[in-house]
Structure 1
Amino acid sequence: MKTLIILVTYNGFALTKNCLQKLSLLPDENWKIVIADNQSADGTPEKIRKEFPQVTVYELGENRGFGFANNEAFRKSFAKENFDFVCFLNNDTIPSPETLLRLTKDLEESSQKIIAAPLVKNQDGSLQRTDYRFISAWEFWTNAFRSVASADVVLHGKTKPLGNSELLTNDWVNAVCWMMPAKAFQEIGMFDEKIFMYYEDQDFAFRAKKCGYIFVIDPNAILIHLGGGSAKSSFSRSIQHDSSQLYFYGKHFGFRGKILSHSFRALRSFLRILFQLPRCIFSKSSRENVSLHSKLFLFALGIFPFKK
């Protein structure tokens, strides 16, 4: 069985180097590592070619987002040879060969249509929840009234065992690390390239469920996720996230989905402003939070323009 591993890079060579050093311990004959570079300005492609000559680098020439980069690396790789499995892996992770081997074994041994993911931990060893529920419209909207922590409880829910196996399952798992049959990626329809960043994995998972695939977590396959992020600022991240959310709900739920997203985001930001405003005199972080949510509130109302 041959596995293709795809990493997307956008600057941050040091993180990518840490990841590739671990991946280089995998047997060359069964594993192919490719990089999709989103127009890095720090010399990432050249440095990878010099230090990891066994790794294939595709320089995409422009940054069209996470989904397009993964799709393009997949298309270019399959134009040259075939693979049984494909692994989409964040470059800000520290993957052990044992973890990736275990995930491929999960796919080989399962009689069900699964997409396998590891148990993700922070660098200090604490658990990093990567599994989620597909929540109802009411749960989504009422999360505007909740704190980030209490909203997370609703979003995550609880994992449950997959049958009698050690594997755990939830509605979907974010794309820190996905291992799946290559044919599954093609059947589900790859990543939606209209999504620049955020929600591309939830969109894919939503379609995967319709195709009968189950997301599973192997608790014995451990992956360290350092956490990096490509957006330039908290405002850039937030506005990109909100834009992708609007697209996702409009795509899957039509006009009602757009109304749901707009109203949720407007209410969320209004409440954040309301609770933080009295603290602005004494707290710089409160002033920054109010400034951020004022812009997000205007964006939710369609007043503030969005540019990538």
Structure 2
Amino acid sequence: MNEPLTNSRPGISFCGKAHNNHPQWYNQPIRLTKEQKRDPLPVLDDFFECYHLNEVRYILWEWLTEALSSQRSVAIEPLERNNHIYFYEKIEGIIEAAYVIKKKIHKHRHKREKRKLKQGTQTARHEAKDINYGAGSKKLILATETDTEQLYKPKMLIEYVDITPMYVINEVFKNDSLSFLRDQIRDWLLIALSADTAIYEPGEQRKQLLLFQEQLQVLVEALFIIYTQNREKANVKVDLTESDKPRLLSQDQISNPTQVITGFFEQFPMIYIARELNDWLEASLCFAGTYPENMSKWQAFYTHRSVECLIKAANRL
């Protein structure tokens, strides 16, 4: 660039929702709450739960191409176009840096939690204290606990997706075979579409759910292939029944299952997935008819949990 960005467009500035010229706030966070300023990690988690890195790149590129192709004053001058490109590159870099920082913070906190858990589960130490109750009195030795009682709940499986996504996938398929999970997803779909609820009354919503379920089944098969490949690399024998073999994947997809994962998240952004899974679960819990064999309200919740774990783990591979 020929001149600094701040001087590239005299008299013209961005007036977005969070824009503020107050001198105390000019270079301070405005959109973040006090809690988010104290711990910004949930902000990063929320962002990257909604958007895959590749999706962010795509959106930024769409914005850039739209700005550069504009016939209005924002892109008439070469310097303006150069400024847009420069800003685009910096934003893309800072988002990738935020992604790396997020993963490192989660890894650090996971290690810290493990240390705390190890300390909390140790037997409380006792120490003897001599208490003198005055001249001629006997010394009493009392045993006292040094640690206060702590509340503890084991981490949920889904909490490991950012740290070890492959571990999450392994745990899901250790508990449920491919054929069982495939049938559960199918039955979960049927009761959701049959429930007396307004969620899937519009035909377009039902169409979306059907499409999502079809591609979800393909994704689950691809993840199962990755699971078996990892088990074989670890010299763990995997006995597959005929019903556990992929039915929907092509030979090319079986050879390269990661392309299925990429295609799935290109078709369905995480924000849509979160909303669809929530609606799907809510509709299934409203079902008042006769459940298929091996399906119930509890099984619907369990299937939702397994599917959510697999999708979020796949998004982190």
What TM-score does the superposition give when structure 1 sets the normalisation length? Answer: 0.27
More helix by share: 2
Structure with more contact order per residue of length (Cα contacts < 8 Å, sep ≥ 6): 2
What TM-score does the superposition give when structure 2 sets the normalisation length? Answer: 0.26
Instruction: Give the greater-gyration-radius structure (CA).
Output: 2
